[in-house]
Amino acid sequence: MKLKLDSSTIRTLFLRGLTANARNNLDLLGQGDISQQTFEQICELCRKFSRNQYRSSRGTRNRNRKTESTDAMIIGLENKMENMKIDVMNNVTK
């Protein structure tokens, strides 16, 4: 026998199962407290959030790697410039 639940009960059970982080993200995406919306509207927000997560995660790894390597390169250049400045100052004061 199948148990038939009304939409508000399903919405309540769904909202209780969300993590705090997921709930906050959906609240932001829904521009307010999602518990005030219908279950269908909440489902649509979940679809949008899922699509956005998928789209943003595809390029994130490459961008993070690029940023880390760029940061390392900048630090290396700063160190070389500092060493060069010290060498120039030593040559000028001789």
State how far the alpha carbon of 46 is from the alpha carbons of 6, 30, 43, 51, 80, in Å: 20, 10, 5, 9, 50
The verdict on residue 34 lying in a domain is yes
The verdict on residue 55 lying in a domain is yes
- Domain residues for the domain of 13 are 7-93
Over residues 22-27, the mean pLDDT reads 82
The verdict on residue 52 lying in a domain is yes
Number of domains in the chain: 1
The verdict on residue 59 lying in a domain is yes
The verdict on residue 2 lying in a domain is no
What does pTM read for this prediction?
0.49
pLDDT confidence of residue 94: 66
Count of all residues that appear for the chain in the document: 94
The verdict on residue 76 lying in a domain is yes
In degrees and rounded to multiples of 5, residue 18 shows phi and psi of -75, 145
pLDDT in tens, 70-89: 777 777 777 788 878 787 87
The verdict on residue 1 lying in a domain is no
Q: Among 19-28, 35-44, 49-58, 63-72, where is mean pLDDT lowest?
A: 63-72
pLDDT in tens, 54-63: 676 655 555 5
